[in-house]
Amino acid sequence: MPAVAIVQPADLTTIGSPALWAVTLAGLALLLGADFLLTRRPHEVRMREAVTWSAFYLALPLAFGVYLWQAFGTGVAVEFYTGFVVEKSLSIDNLFVFMLLLSAFAVPRIYAQRVLLYGIIGALVLRAIFIALGAAVLRSGTWAFLLFGAILIVTAGKVLKDAMSGHGEQVDVSRMRSVRLLRRFMPVTDDYRGSRLTVRENGRRALTPLALAMVAVFATDIVFAVDSVPAVYGITEDPFLVFATNAFALLGLRALYFVMQSVLARLRHLNHGLAIILAFIGVKLVLHWAHGVWPWLPEIPTLVSLGVIITVLVTVTITSMLAADRAGPGR
């Protein structure tokens, strides 16, 4: 009878010293503060402004990865870049849902970036909470890798099912639980009142549709946090790298939304690709757990993961563009 290894709790070593955490959080707060100042004056974001900021927010993680490579070596840098690619691809799907929500609530374009900014802040807070919970679960034993893997595989099946049925392309605001709950406790105005979230009407405090849109965006943040945090833990077990990849992936979403607003509709195979990526990382996590029990089972190296993820994203982008060209304009 073959011997079975005793699985010990995961040892989550981290490169995140208190000084590195402090600098990273301070930089994040500074960038969010700058974003908040930019959205204080409601205006329609032009393509040039959106492209400039998107390029800036893409350069930041590239430079941060170079710093990690110089300070901690190639392995840490590869883990960061791979995690960032995974989180950025998932955040693009996040953007598509934001686009549907803003359209469903008929949010005026000049207020769209304010809704997006609050959505990004909410996503960062939720990711931080889920990252801390994920680290605590992993410390309790490597069975957590099996749990995370199962979550991602089930999620991949749901994403693929929605992509095949087209349900992911529709948002019914009236059926959202968060919206129904708010309407039950507070009245809602029929129209927007500038950038205000609440107003006093007929002697009562009432919510505006902008407030409902923000709540709906925050509710979707919870769903995406459940998917994205286990996904990046499939790339690296370092809580600091997990947080950094999430933060860099989310920071540029506000500007990227306006760049990709017309492109997102053409990426009709994006969810198919995301389903493949989530399933792949889920299998990687299950193999990682199984390797601790049966050491003869192989593990999937991070470089292989990066290659698979990039190949899938490039493939679905090409097939999406070809399918859109065949369908013709307006379809």
pLDDT band at 265 (very low <50, low <70, confident <90, very high): low
pLDDT of 257 higher than 70: yes
* pLDDT in the model for residue 2: 40
pLDDT band at 80 (very low <50, low <70, confident <90, very high): very high
**Which of 142-146, 195-199, 252-256 shows the lowest per-residue confidence on average (mean pLDDT)?**
142-146
Which residues have CB under 8 Å from 50's CB, separation 6+?
255, 256, 257, 258, 259
Segment 152-178 shows an average pLDDT of 69
Domain-wise residue ranges, the chain: 31-327
Q: Is 207 helix (H, G, I), strand (E, B) or coil?
A: strand
More confident call, 288 vs 25: 25
More confident call, 274 vs 43: 274
Q: What is the pTM of this model?
A: 0.74
Write the CA distances from 126 to 87, 123, 224, integer angstroms. 14, 5, 9
* pLDDT in the model for residue 56: 92
CA distance 173 to 146: 35
CA distance 200 to 152: 45
Which tokens in the block code for residue 310? 């990039």
Percent helix, strand and coil across the chain, each rounded to 5?
A: 75, 5, 20
The tens digit of pLDDT for each residue in 96-139 reads: 777 777 777 778 877 887 788 888 888 888 888 888 887 777 77
Which residues have CB under 8 Å from 139's CB, separation 6+?
9, 10, 12
